[in-house]
């Protein structure tokens, strides 16, 4: 491993966006640490020379601590942490089920908070580096059949905005990623048409360019969809709720 070789740690890397981003960074010459619960899928990824597997359940904080120590012991240092763990069950979102909503919050939001906490001192002491959090356009405003997923992503975006200011004082970059509809095992469960549906490889290219070549706080794509939703986000409630209700009834 070259001392000058850049290194990234990616959670939620067993499938979907995290998996594609891991391959993209590895193919670009980065050393990539991948984490997720499904060890067998991580081991497949780790067949790439630049990828190393570190199985992890982000709802287990002590495990996060141990895994990050293992990553540092193996890689020596880390330049970027990309936290993209997430879960989503669309059929469970159609009714208010407190237990299932709590599970979504635990994985999508609290799991990310625990990951950020574990790496906080490392990056602040290093006075450089980058923490990036995968949120979603579902966090922009309340959407139908999104009683757990949407709120978990809205909380992630707000959390990222909040910690941006503190980490900036230490020279550490914080960014948030807001993808639209990307064809993954999670979105394959959706039973409604998904506008501007893109591939995980498309998402990986956008994320790589945003993290490595750009410096914006938010990396969002595809623009045709995200800009439309950003416009809806600034509308007054009466008009927003009317328009979304009309769209849902189509």
pLDDT tens for each residue of 196-243: 788 999 999 999 999 999 999 999 999 999 999 999 999 999 999 999
Mean pLDDT for 85-114 is 86
Alpha-carbon distance of 123 to 115, in angstroms, equals: 12
**180 Cβ neighbours under 8 A, 6+ residues apart:** 137, 195, 196, 198, 220, 221, 222, 225, 226
**What are 21's two structure tokens?**
């981003």
State the pLDDT at residue 184. Answer: 75
State the pLDDT at residue 224. Answer: 92
Tell me the domain boundaries of the chain: 7-249
Quick count: other Cβ atoms within 10 Å of Cβ 101? 17
pLDDT tens for each residue of 136-171: 999 999 888 788 899 999 999 999 999 999 999 999
Alpha-carbon distance of 32 to 181, in angstroms, equals: 25
Q: Is the dihedral of CA 159, 160, 166, 172 positive or negative?
A: positive
**What are 129's two structure tokens?**
């580096």
Q: Is the dihedral of CA 156, 157, 159, 165 positive or negative?
A: positive
For the cut 60, the answer to whether the pLDDT of residue 1 exceeds it is no
pLDDT tens for each residue of 21-68: 999 999 999 999 999 999 999 999 999 999 999 999 999 999 999 999
State the pLDDT at residue 249. Answer: 65
HSE at residue 152, side-chain half, CA atoms within 13 A, is 26
Cβ-defined contacts of 59-64 (< 8 Å, 24+): 59/106, 59/107, 59/110, 59/111, 59/114, 61/114, 61/117, 61/118, 64/114, 64/115, 64/118
Host H or E run for residue 10: strand 7-11
- Output the DSSP codes for 184-246: STTGGG--S--TT-B-HHHHHHHHHIIIII---SEEEE-HHHHHHHHHHHTS-HHHHHHHHHH
Predicted confidence band at 84 (pLDDT cuts at 50, 70, 90)? very high
For the cut 90, the answer to whether the pLDDT of residue 182 exceeds it is no
**174 Cβ neighbours under 8 A, 6+ residues apart:** 130, 131, 132, 133, 160, 163, 164, 167, 168, 217
State the pLDDT at residue 88. Answer: 73
Reported residue count of the chain is 250
- What CATH number belongs to 7-249? 3.40.50.720
**What are 13's two structure tokens?**
């890397």
Model pTM score: 0.92
State the pLDDT at residue 188. Answer: 64
């Amino acid at each position: 491993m070259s001392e000058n070789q850049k290194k990234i740690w990616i959670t939620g890397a067993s499938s979907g966006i995290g998996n594609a981003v891991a391959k993209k960074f590895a193919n670009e010459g980065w050393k990539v640490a991948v984490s997720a619960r499904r060890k067998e899928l991580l081991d497949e990824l780790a067949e790439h020379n630049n990828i190393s597997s570190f199985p992890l359940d982000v709802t287990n904080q002590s495990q996060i601590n141990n895994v990050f120590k293992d990553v540092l012991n193996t890689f020596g240092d880390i330049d970027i942490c990309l936290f993209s763990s997430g879960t989503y069950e669309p059929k469970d979102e159609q009714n208010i089920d407190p237990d299932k909503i709590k599970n979504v919050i635990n994985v999508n939001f609290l799991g990310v908070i625990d990951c950020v906490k574990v790496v906080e001192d490392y990056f602040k002491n290093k006075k450089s580096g980058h923490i990036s959090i995968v949120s979603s356009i579902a966090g922009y405003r309340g959407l139908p059949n999104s009683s757990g997923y949407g709120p978990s992503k809205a909380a992630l975006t707000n959390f990222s905005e909040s910690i941006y200011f503190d980490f900036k004082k230490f020279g550490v970059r914080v960014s948030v990623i807001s993808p639209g509809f990307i064809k993954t095992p999670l979105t394959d469960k959706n039973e409604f048409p998904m506008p501007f549906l893109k591939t995980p490889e498309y998402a990986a290219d956008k994320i790589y360019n945003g993290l490595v070549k750009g410096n914006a706080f938010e990396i969002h794509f595809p623009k045709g969809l995200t800009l439309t939703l950003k416009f809806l986000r600034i509308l007054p409630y009466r008009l927003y709720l009317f328009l979304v209700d009309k769209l849902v009834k189509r």
